[in-house]
């Protein structure tokens, strides 16, 4: 009975191959032929011993295995190999009377089967074919994975370029309006500080950061005369202002797949808890939480910076006003988180 010494390579070669058969004479014959094809051969006398060899040598490109063996039969061995080493080609050896089992082997993932007695030319032809097929499968998979990675990288790059573009637009919007200079960045920083208090982290926090920065991007489409008007607005002018969330959402639609939270912020940052906001008149929890957070940050920054139609208010007053409108206009939880985050946030101190 063969022992583990059979796990030693019989001869050096380029590709490895495992020969599994309980008859030593058959093994020797197979090994000689496979060595002639350039294989470095390992051998085992049973399925169980073969699995021990595989544990040690790893996944070989080729296994040639007998069907009938003690301890573990060929079919069971094949199934274990397919599960553990899916990239190994397995050629099964069968007697003439076992042809139906041989077909069964193919269904269970064997690369091929050979009928005993085995001829040298037949074995070598089948081995070459099995390895060629394996190489094609591996190559295909490599191309597929490579291609998928490339497509993904390109999609990420396109998104980055798009974001750079809209961020530049946001800067351009502020550059033409002295009153809102720094507004987007401050709103973004306030919103991030507030959201962190509320337990947001990772990509959700990134979404709030970006959404805060871009929340007013739709104002690019609002006429400057309306944006900067010192007095009260006509109905038509008010209608123009109220369009900016929807226009912004349309502008940012390429982000819909990757960053839907950013779009929710842009669309809903002017909604009010009591349903009297725009553009959808959403109420309470119907307003996305990210937008409720940005609304608090937006309201605070609007109050604490000078606008064409009024002077700025001191932060302490603005905080009191946030609390006063919590529950009707603004989300009370977001207001409290903002108030808690406010004094400790370095970014806030920088800008106020």
Q: Which residues bind to Fe ion, rule: CB under 5 A? A: 216
The separation between the first and the last C-alpha atoms of the chain, rounded to the nearest angstrom, is 86
Pure H helices in the chain:
24-36, 47-57, 74-84, 99-107, 120-175, 183-197, 202-214, 224-227, 235-242, 244-251, 260-268, 289-304, 315-325, 332-341, 346-351
Please identify, using beta-carbon distances, which residue of 74 and 288 lies nearer to Fe ion.
288
Please identify, using beta-carbon distances, which residue of 47 and 211 lies nearer to Fe ion.
211
Structure tokens at 138: 């591996």
- Give the shortest CB-218-to-Fe ion separation in angstroms: 8
- Give the shortest CB-243-to-Fe ion separation in angstroms: 11
Which residue's CB comes closest to Fe ion?
216
Number of other CB atoms surrounding residue 193 within 10 Å:
21
- Give the shortest CB-231-to-Fe ion separation in angstroms: 20
How many CA atoms lie within 13 Å of 14's alpha carbon, on the beta-carbon side?
A: 3
Please identify, using beta-carbon distances, which residue of 216 and 301 lies nearer to Fe ion.
216
- Give the shortest CB-270-to-Fe ion separation in angstroms: 6
Please identify, using beta-carbon distances, which residue of 216 and 249 lies nearer to Fe ion.
216
Of the residues 133, 176, 219, 229, which is catalytic?
219
From 129, 165, 123, select the one nearest 33 (Cα to Cα): 123
Residues 6+ apart with CB under 8 A from 246: 218, 267, 279
- Give the shortest CB-199-to-Fe ion separation in angstroms: 25
Please identify, using beta-carbon distances, which residue of 174 and 216 lies nearer to Fe ion.
216
Tell me whether residue 219 is one of the annotated catalytic residues: yes
**Longest Cα pair distance anywhere in the chain, in angstroms?**
103
Tell me the C-alpha distance between 194 and 302, whole Å.
16
Q: Which residues are catalytic?
A: 219
């Amino acid at each position: 009975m063969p022992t583990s010494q059979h796990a030693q390579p019989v001869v050096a070669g380029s590709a490895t191959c495992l020969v599994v058969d309980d008859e030593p004479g058959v093994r020797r014959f197979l090994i000689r032929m496979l060595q002639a094809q350039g294989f470095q051969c390992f051998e085992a006398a049973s399925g169980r011993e073969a699995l021990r060899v595989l544990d040690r040598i790893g996944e070989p490109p080729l296994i040639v295995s007998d069907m009938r063996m003690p301890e573990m039969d060929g079919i069971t061995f094949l199934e274990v190999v397919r599960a553990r080493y899916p990239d190994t080609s397995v050629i099964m050896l069968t007697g003439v009377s076992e042809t139906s089992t041989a077909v069964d082997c193919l269904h269970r993932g064997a690369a091929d089967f050979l009928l005993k007695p085995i001829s040298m030319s037949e074995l070598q032809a089948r081995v070459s074919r099995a390895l060629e097929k394996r190489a094609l499968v591996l190559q295909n998979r490599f191309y597929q994975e490579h291609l998928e990675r490339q497509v993904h990288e390109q999609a990420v790059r396109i998104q980055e370029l798009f974001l750079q573009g809209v961020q530049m637009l946001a800067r351009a919007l502020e550059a033409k309006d002295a009153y809102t200079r720094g507004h987007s960045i401050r709103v973004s920083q306030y919103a991030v500080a507030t959201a962190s208090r509320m337990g947001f982290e990772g990509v959700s926090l990134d979404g709030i950061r970006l959404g805060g920065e871009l929340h007013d991007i739709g104002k690019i489409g609002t006429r400057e005369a309306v944006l900067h008007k010192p007095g009260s607005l006509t109905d038509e002018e008010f209608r123009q202002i109220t369009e900016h969330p929807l226009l912004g959402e349309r502008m940012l639609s390429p982000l819909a797949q990757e960053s839907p939270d950013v779009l929710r912020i842009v669309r809903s940052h002017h909604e009010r808890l009591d349903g009297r906001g725009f553009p959808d008149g959403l109420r309470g929890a119907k307003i996305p939480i990210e937008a409720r957070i940005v609304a608090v940050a937006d309201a605070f920054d609007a109050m604490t910076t000078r606008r064409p139609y009024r002077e700025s208010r001191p932060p302490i007053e603005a905080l009191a006003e946030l609390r006063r409108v919590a529950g009707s206009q603004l989300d009370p939880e977001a207001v409290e988180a903002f108030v808690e985050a406010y004094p400790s946030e370095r970014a806030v101190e920088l800008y106020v």
